[in-house]
Amino acid sequence: MEYTAIGDPVNLAARICGVAPGGEVWIDPATREFLAGRLSEEHLGSFSLKGKEEPVPLFRVRPNAP
């Protein structure tokens, strides 16, 4: 069997991966809210992404200090 993930969240993830530099994890506001209190992040500003009418705020996940 074959499975394919489709839809707006998948497209958004692909667009975010396209603007994030290698070795970094960038997330959108929905993911940030879902993971609230479990990670440290830095707001990077809003980015114009293909398929989105409005710029999307993006965040870089930062390593937590030990």
pLDDT of residue 65: 53
pLDDT of residue 19: 96
Strand partners of residue 61: 41
Q: How many residues are given for the chain?
A: 66
**Residue 66 binned pLDDT confidence (cut-offs 50, 70, 90):** low
- Which residues are within 8 A (CB) of 49 and not within 5 positions of it... i.e. 6 or more apart? 12, 15, 16, 19, 55, 56
20-37 pLDDT tens trace: 999 999 999 999 999 998
42-59 pLDDT tens trace: 999 999 999 999 999 999
Domain boundaries along the sequence of the chain: 8-62
pLDDT of residue 29: 96
pTM of this prediction exceeds 0.75: yes
What is the rounded distance in angstroms from the CA atom of residue 59 to the CA atom of residue 34?
13
